[in-house]
């Protein structure tokens, strides 16, 4: 059986996004997946637990981490590799290393069956990050990876020339559970149900969402996590229904009851390289998609309207359900995305 060590920046039990989705698809086609959750500190241990057929979650505890200091993080990587070899029973020569967490680039210095660096964020641009440290991690991965998969054209274009030659552009996609018949109906005699799903963190524009809530013809549904003063204020708005964090099945059911999916991004550097998973989930659920008019989203073909003011919001509400939605067969599935990556990996390994 093929084996893959999947090193992720998010926990397997967290909000399901690109990392968990691709790992799950690998398991479906017969790969034995060891999914490494973000490292914990304060000890030296390894435990594993079965998460699904062919998937085990690996939880490592190491004495220290130093993500903003590469020298210290190298020591952390050595601890992690030792645990993986002695406690998790991994052997490098017959295991594919799939790494989505650049700060553990140390793992890539060893000889694996192959190395895939899945570049799905503009690392170093998150609030508070040490850009030079993340550049160093990525430089190591650019040099050592067999294949670099990029979720957005902006991420691929910013690769150095030697890395671009072994890259492939593979955007995000949608899980099958979101697909199904649903077409928004006219909302002339009722409030329009807007929904914003996902992680409402520093890159999310809670003030834009609050502006939408000022209209007496809408109600806003929040699904997912969030933080910050503006987000907490938004949650208390009387036109907001906060569903909290939902599993995929519950989120899919919620989306089927709504009319419009919102991509509430701020116009910051980080967003230039984001291909929002929520856009695919909204589209598969039959929702119109609205977003603020920022350049990074202009190329997203799934967005129906760009709204920047109450006047444009009035126009969007009046024009609701008058535009054709993308057909289901045009919306990417995770299984297709994974196959694109594996096909390109096969080509590169045969060169």
CATH at 27: 3.40.50.2000
- Does 287 share its domain with 243? yes
Mean pLDDT of 93-108: 94
- Does 75 share its domain with 163? yes
- Does 216 share its domain with 264? yes
- Does 112 share its domain with 192? no
- Does 153 share its domain with 192? no
Domains of the chain: total: 2
Q: In sequence order, what DSSP letters do the residues of 306-335 get, joined into one string?
A: E--SHHHHHHHHHTTT-SPPPPGGGSPBHH
Do residues 273 and 155 make contact, with C-beta atoms less than 8 angstroms apart? yes
Pairing of strands 45-52, 55-62: antiparallel
Mark 160-186 as b/e (b = at least 16 C-beta within 10 Å). Answer: eeebeebbbebbbbbbeebbeebebee
Q: Is the pLDDT of residue 219 over 70?
A: yes
pLDDT in the model for residue 185? 62
How far does CA 239 lie from the centroid of its chain? 28
Which has the closest alpha carbon to 226: 212, 237, 242? 242
In whole angstroms, give the CA distance from residue 182 to residue 195.
15
- Does 343 share its domain with 312? no
Do residues 81 and 105 make contact, with C-beta atoms less than 8 angstroms apart? no
- Does 119 share its domain with 203? no
- Does 207 share its domain with 152? no
In whole angstroms, give the CA distance from residue 43 to residue 49.
19
Q: Which H or E run contains 85?
A: helix 70-86
Mean pLDDT of 282-296: 95
Backbone angles phi, psi at 337, to 5 degrees: -60, -45
pLDDT in the model for residue 93? 77
- Does 97 share its domain with 211? no
- Does 47 share its domain with 144? yes
Mean pLDDT of 54-82: 95
pLDDT in the model for residue 86? 86
Pairing of strands 192-200, 218-226: parallel
Do residues 271 and 203 make contact, with C-beta atoms less than 8 angstroms apart? yes
- Does 105 share its domain with 181? no
pLDDT in the model for residue 182? 65
- Does 243 share its domain with 344? no
* Parent domain of 24: 3-173+334-350
Which has the closest alpha carbon to 206: 228, 238, 239? 228
pLDDT in the model for residue 187? 62
- Reported as a single tens digit per residue, the pLDDT across 157-175 is 999 999 999 999 999 999 9
When mean pLDDT is compared across 63-67, 248-252, 325-329, 344-348, the lowest value belongs to: 325-329
List Cβ neighbours of 265 (8 Å cut-off, separation of 6 or more). Answer: 203, 204, 205, 271, 274, 276, 291, 292, 294, 296, 297
pLDDT in the model for residue 75? 96
Higher pLDDT pick, 190 / 105: 105
In whole angstroms, give the CA distance from residue 317 to residue 188.
9
Owner of token pair 């969030």: 226
């Amino acid at each position: 059986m093929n084996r893959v060590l999947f090193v992720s920046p998010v926990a397997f039990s967290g909000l399901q996004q690109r990392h968990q989705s691709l790992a799950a698809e690998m398991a479906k086609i017969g790969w034995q997946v060891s999914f490494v959750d973000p490292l914990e500190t304060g000890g030296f241990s390894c435990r594993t637990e079965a998460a699904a057929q062919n998937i085990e979650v690996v939880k490592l505890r190491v004495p220290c981490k130093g993500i903003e200091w590469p020298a210290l993080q190298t020591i952390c990587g050595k601890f992690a590799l030792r645990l993986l070899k002695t406690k998790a029973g991994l052997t490098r020569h017959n295991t594919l290393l799939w790494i989505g967490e650049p700060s553990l680039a140390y793992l890539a210095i060893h000889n694996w069956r192959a190395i895939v660096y899945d570049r799905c964020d503009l690392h170093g641009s998150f609030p508070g990050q040490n850009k030079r440290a993340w550049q160093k991690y990525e430089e190591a991965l650019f040099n050592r990876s067999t294949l670099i998969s990029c979720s957005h054209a902006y991420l691929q274009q910013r690769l150095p020339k030697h890395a671009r030659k072994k890259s492939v552009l593979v955007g995000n996609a949608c899980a099958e559970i979101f697909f199904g018949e649903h077409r928004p109906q006219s909302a002339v005699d009722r409030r329009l149900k807007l929904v914003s799903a996902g992680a409402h963190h520093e890159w999310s524009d809670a003030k834009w969402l609050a502006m939408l809530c000022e209209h007496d013809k809408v109600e806003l549904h929040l699904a997912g996590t969030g933080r910050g003063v503006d987000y907490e204020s938004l949650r208390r708005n009387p036109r907001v229904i906060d569903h909290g964090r939902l599993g995929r099945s519950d989120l899919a059911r919620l989306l089927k009851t709504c009319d419009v999916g919102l991509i509430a991004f701020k116009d910051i550097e980080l967003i230039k390289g984001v291909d929002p998973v929520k856009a695919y989930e909204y589209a598969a659920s039959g929702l119109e998609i609205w977003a603020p008019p920022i350049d990074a989203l202009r190329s997203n073909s799934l967005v129906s309207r760009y709204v920047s003011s109450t006047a444009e919001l009035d126009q969007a509400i009046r024009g609701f359900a008058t535009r054709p939605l993308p057909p289901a067969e045009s919306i990417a599935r995770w299984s297709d995305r994974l196959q694109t990556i594996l096909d390109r990996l096969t080509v590169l390994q045969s060169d």
